[in-house]
Amino acid sequence: MKKYIQTWTLMMAITMFFTGSSYAAEDAALLKDMTSVVALLGVPCGQVVSAVKKADNDHVVTCQDGNHYRIFLNPEGRVVAQKQ
């Protein structure tokens, strides 16, 4: 029984380790993408430090300078940055 618990604990730890690193990689890619979007839109931001997904193609980002913007697609299909 003790070996079963040790094996189960090890499997859970490995799963959590790899899952956490994939989330971190996705988060880093999202921040980089949102920084590019904000720069292309000409919004004074610098670098995006956090992004929260509200829906498909709808994010709220926080910039390095503390400003918050909602990045989304408008009904015409254009990307818009709206200050929050």
27-72 pLDDT per residue, tens? 888 899 889 888 888 988 888 999 988 888 899 999 999 999 999 9
Report the alpha-carbon distance of residue 17 to residue 63 in Å, rounded: 28
The residue whose two tokens read 């604990």 is 9
Give me the pLDDT at residue 59, please.
92
Give me the pLDDT at residue 44, please.
87
The residue whose two tokens read 């995006």 is 48
Beta bridge partners of 33: none
Give me the pLDDT at residue 29, please.
87
Q: Is the pLDDT of residue 24 over 90?
A: no
Give me the pLDDT at residue 15, please.
52
| pLDDT band at residue 22 using 50, 70 and 90 as cut-offs | very low
